[in-house]
Chains A and B, each alone.
Chain A
């Protein structure tokens, strides 16, 4: 039944995260971008919301709720939102597709009070990379698999103890749970990027990494790798919606105050109409994200919807961030204001086709 109704629980969680985002996260965003690191106090505050570890609890895995909350986090900062969405993606994949043993062994690792990172490693450092043509390979050995290849950029790579690595195996994409400490795994130097700089993105190389048969996600049953991709696309759509909202909510008061040729900027149709379009598009982005997330929540095939949401959000978010910079003129170009950061972050988020989840 078509409904946009949020449950009481969803509304409560949403307003709690909204408060945290405005009071604690937004004020810390610029500094984290400058220092190219997220302070551990921020990571712990994210953790304290329970948004990540609730995935591991019975009945706690909820793509719809995750989409709602990731949007709110991204209104404060996209990098912080991804710091939550990466372990959510990992836990969501294990919860939805892990074997009973994998759930039993892995989920309790996330029960503590301190931030714990983990992520899915899908992207590869190659200009022609596409999620449908993975080059990292897992070869079957007599008691497991041997994994070789490169992954990246991986957010917070240095902080992750566990990865879900997507690799080709027997002619199809498959997913493997790999520990960062495993022999043959090396996390490369932090490679500074256009945006999301606080995520310390790095490349990870896997050189003849020996994996047990039990490392395969879902073990003998295997898993649906596409679902991990769909979940990632949905999470990124939620984050792009949040950043777009941040831009819109920032430029509205600015354009109302800024006087040009005797009138507020916002009273000129060329500005007002673009603001109206920002509102139209952020609404549409949100509903597309919700639709993909609700299909994932119901265990349905969300591939088409996630693709459409991700493609649409990528295009619109870039337009909104671009216009945000433009509306502030020279002030938009200065690092005193956040719009230049959102402009860089948006360019970055829309390419992170993996690494996160709802």
Chain B
């Protein structure tokens, strides 16, 4: 049955997430200002509080489902801006779990593994990567050379799952993944990158110079299986974008109300001011994008792997965060520019979601190829 009401069990978990987001928000400006400091894996306030992500993942009965709930929890976390409990896992862990041999999984299951794909000359076009591993017959090791940029969790991770070209001893070539541990000679992590927003988001470049890697670390994820980790993460990024967007909307609504401007939904366009009309249009963008996220997550729960829908959710969420954070500042005027308020941070933080993990244009390529029944060669 078509239904969009949260259950009591949903509300309970989301209430926990929201309460922690309110605490997390106290730190948001601090980490915006101190971009070289890594956020603690767990804040002191969080010590006796359950992780809402764990609650969502473990939820069984009476909820709208773990996938839906997880996305809504992430929305709350990003509404706050700083997570009280930081997830230990990176997308590299997902690759390990899906493609590695049991003994490899056993060795690294407790490591935090970042994923390293993007290069200076290959962002939206990862097939273009140049990082290459050649095999040294004498030692039985791989020798890795190349540069990876914009790598999330670069500093906090224990290892990186590196997508690389390889030239095998028999001369065959292709793409594969290597797990490179932090202390490997020849592997350097650069300084924290200076960004527009999400400033405390751990992001560095990685350099591999004649970096010798044992054959055991060859995880053998191919291009397709490595890129497929983004199918799951896309709607999640949409939800995160909407967390930032809702923070901006909530703040704007509150400030307008303080000045006597209430958002009314009963009348039509000709009964309301331009400000109210604009707010309603921004709020509608939020609702529209949120429902595409829920649709994608609901499909996951039906065991229908969403592809188009995952891209729709990512594209809609990313666009919503841009439009809404830009629009809210416009609505509140010059006072809204001040760092005394959260909007400047929402505006800067909110700009990332339509860029990372597949820019909006890449999502549109995926959607268009699918609805037009085109291959990557037909529509480049």
The answer to whether B280 and A311 have CB atoms under 8 Å apart is yes
In the complex, whether B292 has a CB less than 8 A from a CB of chain A is yes
Once A2-B294, A3-B1 are accepted as A-B contacts, the answer to whether A272 and B265 lie under 8 Å apart by CB is: no
Q: Which residues of chain A have C-beta atoms less than 8 A from B361's C-beta?
A: 269, 273
A273 to B65, CA, bound (A): 32
Q: Which residues of chain A have C-beta atoms less than 8 A from B288's C-beta?
A: 281, 284-285, 287-288, 312
In the complex, whether A54 has a CB less than 8 A from a CB of chain B is no
The answer to whether A1 and B5 have CB atoms under 8 Å apart is yes
Q: How near does chain B come to A349, taking the closest CB pair, in angstroms?
A: 14
Given contacts A2-B65, A285-B288, 18 further A-B contacts (CB under 8 A): A1-B63, A3-B2, A131-B266, A226-B266, A266-B374, A272-B365, A276-B371, A287-B292, A287-B294, A288-B287, A290-B4, A291-B4, A294-B2, A304-B265, A308-B280, A309-B287, A311-B284, A315-B281
In the complex, whether A130 has a CB less than 8 A from a CB of chain B is yes
How many A-B residue pairs lie within 8 Å, measured between CB atoms? 157
Binds A, one of B89-97, B223-231, B308-316: B308-316
Q: Which residues of chain B have C-beta atoms less than 8 A from A304's C-beta?
A: 265
Q: Which residues of chain B have C-beta atoms less than 8 A from A5's C-beta?
A: 1-2
Binds A, one of B32-40, B99-107, B267-275: B267-275
In the complex, whether B49 has a CB less than 8 A from a CB of chain A is no
Q: Which residues of chain B have C-beta atoms less than 8 A from A287's C-beta?
A: 288, 291-292, 294-295
- Can you name the residue of chain B whose Cβ is closest to the Cβ of A129? B270
The answer to whether A252 and B372 have CB atoms under 8 Å apart is yes
Which residues of B from 349 to 363 have beta carbons under 8 Å from A? 361, 363
The answer to whether B1 and A284 have CB atoms under 8 Å apart is no
Which residues of A from 2 to 43 have beta carbons under 8 Å from B? 2-7, 10
One digit per residue, 1 when the CB lies within 8 angstroms of any chain B CB and 0 when it does not, for chain A 251-291 equals 01000100000000011010011011101110111011011
Q: Which residues of chain A have C-beta atoms less than 8 A from B294's C-beta?
A: 2, 4, 287
The answer to whether A272 and B268 have CB atoms under 8 Å apart is no
A93 to B5, CA, bound (A): 23
Which residues of A from 103 to 145 have beta carbons under 8 Å from B? 128-133
Q: Which residues of chain B have C-beta atoms less than 8 A from A303's C-beta?
A: 265-266
A294 to B2, CA, bound (A): 6
- Please report the total number of A residues contacting B with Cβ < 8 Å: 53
The answer to whether B64 and A1 have CB atoms under 8 Å apart is yes
A130 to B269, CA, bound (A): 7
Query: When the two chains form the complex, which single residue of A2, A279, A294, A312 contacts B6, counting CB atoms closer than 8 Å?
Result: A2
A4 to B294, CA, bound (A): 9
Q: Which residues of chain A have C-beta atoms less than 8 A from B308's C-beta?
A: 279
A128 to B280, CA, bound (A): 20
In the complex, whether A74 has a CB less than 8 A from a CB of chain B is no
One digit per residue, 1 when the CB lies within 8 angstroms of any chain A CB and 0 when it does not, for chain B 292-319 equals 1011001100000000110010011000
The answer to whether B3 and A272 have CB atoms under 8 Å apart is no
Which residues of B from 44 to 89 have beta carbons under 8 Å from A? 63-65, 68
Q: Which residues of chain B have C-beta atoms less than 8 A from A252's C-beta?
A: 371-372
In the complex, whether A223 has a CB less than 8 A from a CB of chain B is no
- Can you name the residue of chain A whose Cβ is closest to the Cβ of B366? A276
Q: Which residues of chain A have C-beta atoms less than 8 A from B365's C-beta?
A: 269, 272-273, 276
The answer to whether B368 and A275 have CB atoms under 8 Å apart is yes
The answer to whether B364 and A312 have CB atoms under 8 Å apart is no
The answer to whether B298 and A3 have CB atoms under 8 Å apart is yes
In the complex, whether A193 has a CB less than 8 A from a CB of chain B is no
The answer to whether A273 and B364 have CB atoms under 8 Å apart is yes
Once A3-B298, A280-B292 are accepted as A-B contacts, the answer to whether A266 and B287 lie under 8 Å apart by CB is: no
A130 to B276, CA, bound (A): 15
A259 to B281, CA, bound (A): 37
Q: Which residues of chain B have C-beta atoms less than 8 A from A269's C-beta?
A: 361, 365, 379
Q: Which residues of chain B have C-beta atoms less than 8 A from A353's C-beta?
A: 268
The answer to whether B267 and A131 have CB atoms under 8 Å apart is yes
The answer to whether A276 and B266 have CB atoms under 8 Å apart is no
In the complex, whether A205 has a CB less than 8 A from a CB of chain B is no
Once A130-B267, A133-B271 are accepted as A-B contacts, the answer to whether A2 and B5 lie under 8 Å apart by CB is: yes
Q: Which residues of chain B have C-beta atoms less than 8 A from A276's C-beta?
A: 315, 363-365, 367-368, 371
In the complex, whether A187 has a CB less than 8 A from a CB of chain B is no
A353 to B270, CA, bound (A): 12
In the complex, whether B7 has a CB less than 8 A from a CB of chain A is yes
The answer to whether B284 and A308 have CB atoms under 8 Å apart is yes
In the complex, whether B285 has a CB less than 8 A from a CB of chain A is yes
A188 to B156, CA, bound (A): 75
Query: When the two chains form the complex, which single residue of A1, A10, A291 contacts B291, counting CB atoms closer than 8 Å?
Result: A291
A296 to B236, CA, bound (A): 29
Q: Which residues of chain B have C-beta atoms less than 8 A from A293's C-beta?
A: 2
The answer to whether A284 and B316 have CB atoms under 8 Å apart is yes
Q: How near does chain B come to A194, taking the closest CB pair, in angstroms?
A: 18
The answer to whether A283 and B292 have CB atoms under 8 Å apart is yes
The answer to whether B287 and A272 have CB atoms under 8 Å apart is no
Q: Which residues of chain A have C-beta atoms less than 8 A from B368's C-beta?
A: 266, 272-273, 275-276
A130 to B309, CA, bound (A): 37
Enumerate the 5 nearest inter-chain pairs by beta-carbon distance, A residue then B residue, closest first: A132-B267, A287-B291, A284-B288, A272-B368, A312-B284
